[in-house]
C-alpha cells in the first residue's frame, strides 16, 4: 500500500488542466485519431453507397483492429469492450476485436526489468532465480513475464506496466471527453449522458493502472468465490507487488475458447462454462462484487478441470437493492407481468422516479410475447439483450454501468458455450440458481417475489412450486432444510394474515384430495365382487363426483406427493430437519392455523359425505 500511495486517480478537472495547457500536443494527437478513424469512416460510407457493406465487412473489421492497435492502449481497451458487445457489433467485428486481448506489440525488456527494480527497490537477481527472456503475453496496459522466486522456488507471473501509459491515456480521455460534450449538446437522438459513460469507463481504466488495487481485488475475489472446489484464483505475492508491478502465482491452463485443446485433456468446455455461469451469478447476485472483463484470455481451464480467473483490474459492484430487483425482474418475466417489469426499472435505477412507465409496458409486451413463445429457459440470452436494447433505445432509459457489465459477462460466457454446443442457453443454465435463491433466501423482497410466483388470483400454483423444486435441486448448494423453514416463518408472521387465508384454503384442498384419493385407492384395491356388494353396484365408484373433478383431485394429490418426493431427494434432506419445523408449529399462531385448517377439512369432508347420502 505504501508503494501505491502516489497512484493517480481519474479526475476530469485534473486532466483538463494538464492537457489543456498543452494545445499543440493535443492538436497533434487529435489529428492522428481523426486521420485514422476518419479514413475508416470514409471507406464505410463508400461501401454503403456501393452496396458492398456486407461483402467488405471482414476486411473492414481487420482494418479497425489494426487502427485500434496503432492508436494505442486507450483504443485497445475501447476495442476490448466492443468485442464483448454483440448488441453493438456484427460478428465479423466481434471476432477481430477479440484478438486485441493478446495481439499487442511489446515494449523493450530492458525497460520492463528496470521498472521492476525501480518499483521494488531490489535488483532482479535478488528477487528471481530466473525470468523468461521475453514476455509470455502483452496486454493493453502491460506485459507479463514468467519467473521463479529465489527465496522459495515458486513459479510466478510478473506483470509490468507499459512506460508512459498514464500520460497517453490521460490525453486520449481529455480528447474523448471533448467529443462527449459535443454529443451531449448537439445530438438529440442519444438520450444517455455520454460524458457520464466516458467518465465511468475512464475511472475503470485508471483503476487498472494501479496494480496494488488489482492485487486487492484478486484477494477479495478469492475470499468470496474460491471456496468452490472447481474455481481457482491465483495467490498474490505482496512483497513483490507495487503500483506498476504485480507478482502472482503462475497458473498452467488453456484458454476457454480453445475447445480442441481442452477436450484433448479429457475436459468438457460446457462443464467449465457452467462453472463460470454459476460463479458469475454468485458474483452478480450474492455478493455483488464481480469480474467485469471475463474475455477468453482471462479464463483458463486447468489440467485438473478447474476454471481459473485472471486479471482483476476491471471489477464492478452490483448495488444490494439491484441484486434483489434483478431476481424479482426474472419472476415478473416468468409471470409475464409487464407492468411490474416496467416498475422494476425504478429499483434498477434505469429510470428516474418522475418518468411515466405506462408507454413502456406495450413495448415490453410486444417483445416478450413474441420471445416467450419459447419457455424462459429456451430463450437465447443475446436475443434478450437485443430486444431489451431496442426498448431501451426508444425510451428515456439511462442504463447504469454495472448493468452493461453484467450483460457483457453473461454474453461472453454464452458465446464461449455456443462454440461447443449451438443449442446452449445461458438462461437455462442460470435458472437453477434463481430457483434456489427464491426458495431458500429469507430476504423479504425475495419472499414476496416467491409468493407472487406461486399465487395467482387467490389460487396456489402447485406446478410452479414443483418446477422451482426441480430446477433448484439441480443447484449443488440447494438445501431442503433452507427451502422449508423461511416459508413457515413468513406464514406465521403477525402481518401474514392475508397469506394465511390463502394457505388455509389450499391446505384444505390438499387434505381433502389426500383423503379422497385414499378412498379411491382403497376402492380400487378391493376385489370386483366386494365393490359391487359394498357400493350397491355403483359403476361410478365410491364417490359421486364427475370424472373431471375426480381427475383434478387425484392430480393435485399426486402433484403434492411428487413435491414431497423432490424435497426428500435433496442430498441435504434429513428427517431431522422437521424437528425445528415442529418447534415452529408449537407457536400459538401455528396452533391456531392448524385448527383453522382442520376445521376447514372437516367441513369439506362432511359436505362430501352429506352429498353422497343425498345422491344415494
Across residues 405-419, what is the average pLDDT?
Answer: 74
Q: Which three cell numbers stand for residue 241?
A: 507487488
- Residues known to be catalytic: 293
H or E element in which residue 538 lies: none
Q: Which three cell numbers stand for residue 110?
A: 530492458
Reported as a single tens digit per residue, the pLDDT across 294-352 is 777 789 999 999 999 999 988 888 888 888 888 888 888 877 888 888 888 888 888 88
Give the chain's radius of gyration (CA, Å).
31
pLDDT for residue 43 is more than 60: yes
Position with higher pLDDT, 171 vs 467? 171
Largest CA-CA distance found in the chain, in angstroms, rounded: 109
Residues 6+ away with beta carbon under 8 Å from 451: 490, 499
Reported as a single tens digit per residue, the pLDDT across 239-292 is 999 999 999 999 999 988 888 899 999 999 889 988 988 888 888 888 999 888
Separation of alpha carbons 341 and 452, rounded Å: 13
- Classify strands 307-309 and 231-232 as parallel, antiparallel or unpaired: parallel
Asked if residue 304 lies in contact with residue 254, where contact means CB atoms within 8 angstroms, the answer is no
Query: Which among 455, 501, 465 is positioned nearest to 600, based on CA atoms?
Result: 501
3 state DSSP class of 34: helix
Give pLDDT, residue 573: 54
What are the E-state strand segments in 310-457? 315-317, 455-456
DSSP state of 10: -
Give pLDDT, residue 211: 94
Q: Which three cell numbers stand for residue 146?
A: 514468467
Asked if residue 210 lies in contact with residue 245, where contact means CB atoms within 8 angstroms, the answer is no
Separation of alpha carbons 411 and 418, rounded Å: 10
H or E element in which residue 318 lies: none
Out of 262-266, 435-439, 545-549, least confident range: 545-549
Position with higher pLDDT, 37 vs 515? 37
DSSP state of 243: S
Separation of alpha carbons 391 and 367, rounded Å: 8
Across residues 160-169, what is the average pLDDT?
Answer: 92
Separation of alpha carbons 41 and 533, rounded Å: 92
pLDDT for residue 182 is more than 80: yes
Separation of alpha carbons 372 and 366, rounded Å: 10
218-222, 273-277, 395-399, 482-486 — which one is most confidently predicted on average? 218-222
pLDDT for residue 495 is more than 70: no
Position with higher pLDDT, 193 vs 288? 288
Please tell me the pTM assigned to this model: 0.74
Asked if residue 427 lies in contact with residue 376, where contact means CB atoms within 8 angstroms, the answer is yes
Give pLDDT, residue 545: 67
Residue bearing cell 484478486: 218
Separation of alpha carbons 505 and 523, rounded Å: 27
Across residues 57-65, what is the average pLDDT?
Answer: 92
Separation of alpha carbons 47 and 57, rounded Å: 9
Residue bearing cell 409468493: 451
Instruction: Give the dihedral of Cα atoms 423, 267, 221, 75; nearest 10 deg.
Output: -60
3 state DSSP class of 133: coil
Reported as a single tens digit per residue, the pLDDT across 102-129 is 556 789 999 999 999 999 999 999 999 9
Separation of alpha carbons 229 and 222, rounded Å: 12
Give pLDDT, residue 199: 87
Q: Which three cell numbers stand for residue 359?
A: 408507454
Across residues 69-85, what is the average pLDDT?
Answer: 78
Asked if residue 269 lies in contact with residue 263, where contact means CB atoms within 8 angstroms, the answer is yes
Q: pLDDT-derived band of residue 187, with 50, 70 and 90 as boundaries?
A: confident
Residue ranges of domains in the chain, CATH in brackets: 2-101+167-208 (no CATH), 105-161+211-250 (3.30.200), 256-457 (no CATH), 479-614 (no CATH)
Cα separations (Å) of 503 from 96, 436, 455, 487, 603? 57, 21, 10, 11, 16
Q: Quickly count helices (H) and strands (E) in the chain.
A: 26, 13
DSSP string over 572-592: T--GGGHHHHHHHHTSHHHHH
Separation of alpha carbons 257 and 83, rounded Å: 14
Query: Which among 555, 518, 332 is positioned nearest to 438, based on CA atoms?
Result: 332
Which ranges constitute the DSSP H helices of 4-90?
12-20, 23-50, 57-71, 73-82
DSSP string over 480-499: HHHHHHHHHHHHTSTT-HHH
Q: pLDDT-derived band of residue 390, with 50, 70 and 90 as boundaries?
A: low
Residues 6+ away with beta carbon under 8 Å from 161: 115, 141, 142, 209, 211, 243, 244, 245
Asked if residue 285 lies in contact with residue 323, where contact means CB atoms within 8 angstroms, the answer is yes
pLDDT for residue 88 is more than 60: no
pLDDT for residue 379 is more than 70: no
Give pLDDT, residue 304: 93
Give pLDDT, residue 56: 92
What are the E-state strand segments in 207-352? 231-232, 245-249, 254-255, 289-291, 299-301, 307-309, 315-317
CB atoms within 10 A of CB 479: 19
CB atoms within 10 A of CB 507: 19
Give pLDDT, residue 429: 82
pLDDT for residue 157 is more than 80: yes
**Neighbouring C-alpha atoms within 13 Å toward the C-beta of 238:** 8
Residue bearing cell 353422497: 612
DSSP string over 349-374: TSS-TTS--TTHHHHHHHHHHHHTTS
Residues 6+ away with beta carbon under 8 Å from 348: 322, 325, 326, 329, 400, 403
Give pLDDT, residue 580: 43
Q: Which three cell numbers stand for residue 457?
A: 388470483
As a whole number, the mean pLDDT across the chain is 80
Give pLDDT, residue 33: 92
Amino acid at each position: 500500500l505504501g508503494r501505491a500511495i502516489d497512484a493517480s486517480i481519474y479526475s476530469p478537472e485534473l486532466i483538463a488542466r494538464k492537457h489543456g495547457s498543452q494545445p499543440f500536443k493535443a492538436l497533434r494527437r487529435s489529428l492522428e485519431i481523426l486521420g485514422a478513424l476518419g479514413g475508416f469512416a470514409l471507406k464505410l460510407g463508400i461501401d454503403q453507397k456501393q452496396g458492398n457493406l456486407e461483402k467488405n465487412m471482414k476486411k473492414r473489421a481487420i482494418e479497425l483492429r489494426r487502427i485500434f492497435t496503432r492508436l494505442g492502449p486507450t483504443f485497445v481497451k475501447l476495442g476490448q469492450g466492443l468485442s464483448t458487445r454483440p448488441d453493438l457489433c456484427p460478428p465479423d467485428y466481434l471476432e477481430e476485436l477479440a484478438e486485441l486481448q493478446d495481439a499487442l506489440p511489446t515494449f523493450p525488456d530492458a525497460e520492463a526489468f528496470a521498472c521492476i527494480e525501480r518499483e521494488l527497490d531490489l535488483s532482479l537477481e535478488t528477487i528471481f532465480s530466473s525470468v523468461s527472456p521475453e514476455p509470455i503475453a502483452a496486454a493493453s496496459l502491460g506485459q507479463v513475464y514468467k519467473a521463479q522466486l529465489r527465496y522459495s522456488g515458486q513459479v510466478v507471473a510478473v506483470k509490468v506496466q507499459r512506460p508512459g501509459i498514464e500520460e497517453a491515456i490521460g490525453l486520449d480521455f481529455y480528447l474523448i471527453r471533448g467529443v462527449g460534450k459535443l454529443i451531449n449538446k448537439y445530438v438529440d437522438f442519444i438520450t444517455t449522458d455520454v460524458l457520464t459513460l466516458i467518465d465511468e469507463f475512464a475511472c475503470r481504466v485508471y483503476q487498472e493502472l494501479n496494480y496494488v488495487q488489482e492485487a486487492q481485488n484478486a484477494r477479495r475475489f478469492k475470499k468470496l468465490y474460491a471456496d468452490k472446489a472447481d474455481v481457482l484464483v491465483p495467490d498474490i505475492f505482496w512483497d513483490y507487488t507495487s503500483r506498476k508491478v504485480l507478482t502472482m502465482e503462475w497458473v498452467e491452463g488453456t484458454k476457454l475458447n480453445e475447445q480442441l485443446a481442452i477436450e484433448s485433456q479429457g475436459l468438457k468446455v460446457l462443464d467449465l462454462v457452467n462453472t463460470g455461469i454459476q460463479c458469475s451469478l454468485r458474483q452478480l447476485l450474492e455478493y455483488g462484487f464481480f469480474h467485469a472483463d471475463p474475455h477468453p484470455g482471462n479464463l483458463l481451464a486447468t489440467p485438473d478441470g478447474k476454471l481459473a480467473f485472471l486479471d482483476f483490474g476491471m471489477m464492478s459492484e452490483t448495488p444490494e437493492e439491484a441484486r434483489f430487483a434483478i431476481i424479482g425482474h426474472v419472476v415478473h418475466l416468468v409471470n409475464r407481468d409487464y407492468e411490474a417489469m416496467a416498475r422494476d426499472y425504478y429499483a434498477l435505477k434505469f429510470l428516474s422516479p418522475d418518468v411515466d412507465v405506462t408507454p413502456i409496458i406495450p413495448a415490453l409486451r410486444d417483445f416478450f410475447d413474441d420471445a416467450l413463445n419459447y419457455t424462459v429457459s429456451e430463450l437465447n440470452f443475446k436475443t434478450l439483450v437485443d430486444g431489451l436494447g431496442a426498448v431501451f433505445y426508444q425510451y428515456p432509459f439511462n442504463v447504469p454501468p454495472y448493468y452493461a457489465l453484467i450483460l457483457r459477462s453473461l454474453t461472453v460466457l454464452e458465446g464461449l458455450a455456443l462454440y461447443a454446443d449451438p443449442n446452449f442457453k445461458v438462461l437455462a443454465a442460470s435458472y437453477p440458481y434463481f430457483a434456489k435463491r427464491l426458495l431458500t433466501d429469507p430476504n423479504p423482497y425475495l419472499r414476496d417475489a416467491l409468493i407472487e410466483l406461486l399465487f395467482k388470483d387467490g389460487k396456489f400454483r402447485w406446478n410452479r412450486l414443483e418446477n422451482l423444486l426441480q430446477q433448484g435441486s439441480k443447484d449443488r448448494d440447494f438445501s431442503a432444510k433452507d427451502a422449508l423453514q423461511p416459508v413457515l416463518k413468513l406464514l406465521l408472521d403477525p402481518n401474514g394474515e392475508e397469506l394465511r387465508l390463502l394457505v388455509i384454503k389450499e391446505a384444505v384442498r390438499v387434505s381433502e384430495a389426500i383423503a379422497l384419493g385414499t378412498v379411491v385407492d382403497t376402492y380400487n384395491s378391493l376385489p370386483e365382487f366386494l365393490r359391487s356388494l359394498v357400493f350397491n353396484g355403483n359403476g361410478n365408484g365410491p364417490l359421486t363426483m364427475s370424472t373431471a373433478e375426480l381427475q383434478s383431485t387425484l392430480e393435485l394429490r399426486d402433484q403434492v406427493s411428487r413435491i414431497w418426493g423432490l424435497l426428500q431427494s435433496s442430498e441435504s434432506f434429513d428427517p431431522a430437519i422437521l424437528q425445528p419445523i415442529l418447534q415452529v408449529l408449537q407457536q400459538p399462531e401455528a396452533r391456531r392455523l392448524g385448527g383453522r385448517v382442520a376445521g376447514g377439512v372437516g367441513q369439506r369432508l362432511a359436505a362430501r359425505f352429506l352429498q353422497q347420502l343425498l345422491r344415494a
